[in-house]
């Protein structure tokens, strides 16, 4: 069995920045166990699997090396890049049917505009294990799918760290921990960490901005914001808060194109 394979860098114009995702179009779904094994073999933050339903309409699923996710922004951006540049390049819009509903991505002057759910957080208490794992105490704690820890300035986010042993005692399901603060040269900055995950820090996390954008939009009194994720690879995102959703925009670049050969015994 062979499957087309694309490795794409999302939220960056450089193949050495942003966040890597593997995108694999297939005619029919393989078993969940096999999809997870492939994601483990790909060994990047996320593998996106596509199944074409109609012209410009695809079913989309996301797998980390550890589990299937309900939403992944950077792999959605990468999937749209593959559809609009490799699979159906005459199109300017693609729709994805996902666990989080139908997601639409459109070409624009910003690169690719991606419609994502608005996940405005509410105030919360930190789980004890999570609180004990942090190298600095946040000013605010909020919760949507992910915990969001708010700090005073960009330097706090840059210097943020966790005790991995204590951090991994925290069970957040499919959620993670967003660390954020006002930005220098942008509206806000962030980093994203997942306990018990093969990849501790995600390089650029589109889905985290479902929570970051409405929070900072309300705090700053803005509907359009520029954001930077401060991982080692770095990423840049444009966020716009709409009435019932958010729009996250960014660039994507193809790094690798090939074929996966599955020789199952």
The predicted structure's pLDDT at residue 162: 95
**What value does the CA radius of gyration of the chain take, rounded to a whole number of Å?**
18
Give the integer Cα–Cα distance in Å for 70 and 93.
22
pLDDT over 70 at 107, yes or no: yes
Q: Looking at domain 122-241, what is its CATH homologous superfamily?
A: Diaminopimelate Epimerase; Chain A, domain 1 (3.10.310.10)
Q: CATH classification of 2-115+249-261 is 3.30.470.20, yes or no?
A: no
Helix H or strand E encompassing 123: strand 122-123
pLDDT over 70 at 264, yes or no: no
The domains spanning 2-115+249-261 and 122-241 adopt the same CATH topology? yes
Count of other CB atoms within 10 angstroms of residue 13 = 13
pLDDT tens per residue across span 204-229:
999 999 999 999 999 999 999 999 99
Give the integer Cα–Cα distance in Å for 239 and 226.
6
Instruction: Say if CB 191 and CB 150 are below 8 A apart.
Output: no
- Mean pLDDT, the chain, integer: 94
pLDDT over 70 at 192, yes or no: yes
Query: What residue ranges do the domains of the chain occupy?
Result: 2-115+249-261, 122-241
pLDDT over 60 at 265, yes or no: no
Instruction: Say if CB 101 and CB 117 are below 8 A apart.
Output: yes
pLDDT tens per residue across span 109-139:
999 999 999 999 999 999 898 999 999 999 9
pLDDT over 90 at 179, yes or no: yes
Q: Give the contacts of 263 (CB within 8 A, at least 6 positions apart).
A: none
Instruction: Say if CB 137 and CB 97 are below 8 A apart.
Output: no
pLDDT tens per residue across span 60-100:
999 999 899 998 999 999 999 999 999 999 999 999 999 99
Q: Which residues form the catalytic set?
A: 46
Give the integer Cα–Cα distance in Å for 134 and 180.
14
Of 6-10, 167-171, 207-211, least confident by mean pLDDT is 167-171
């Amino acid at each position: 069995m062979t499957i087309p394979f694309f490795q794409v860098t999302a939220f960056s114009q450089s193949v050495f920045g942003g966040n890597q995702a593997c995108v694999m179009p297939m005619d029919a779904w393989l078993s969940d166990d096999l999809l997870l094994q492939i994601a483990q073999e790909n060994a990047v933050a996320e593998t996106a699997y596509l199944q074409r339903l109609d012209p410009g309409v695809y079913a989309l699923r996301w797998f980390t090396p550890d589990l299937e996710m309900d939403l992944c922004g950077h792999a959605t951006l990468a999937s749209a890049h593959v559809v609009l540049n490799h699979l159906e390049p005459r199109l300017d819009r693609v729709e994805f049917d996902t666990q989080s509903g139908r997601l639409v991505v459109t070409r624009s002057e910003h690169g690719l505009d991606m419609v994502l759910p608005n996940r405005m957080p509410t105030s919360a208490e930190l789980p004890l294990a999570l609180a004990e794992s942090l190298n600095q105490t946040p000013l605010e704690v909020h919760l949507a799918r992910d915990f969001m820890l708010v700090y005073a300035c960009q330097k706090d986010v840059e210097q943020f760290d966790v005790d991995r042993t204590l951090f991994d005692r925290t069970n957040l399901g499919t959620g993670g921990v967003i660390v954020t603060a006002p930005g220098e040269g942008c509206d806000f900055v962030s980093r994203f960490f997942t306990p018990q995950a093969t990849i501790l820090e995600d390089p650029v996390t589109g889905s985290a901005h479902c929570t970051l954008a409405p929070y900072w939009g309300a705090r700053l009194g803005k509907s359009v914001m520029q954001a930077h994720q401060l991982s080692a690879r770095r990423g840049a995102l444009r966020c716009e808060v709409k009435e019932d959703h958010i729009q996250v925009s960014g660039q994507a670049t193809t790094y690798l194109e090939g074929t996966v050969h599955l020789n199952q015994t």
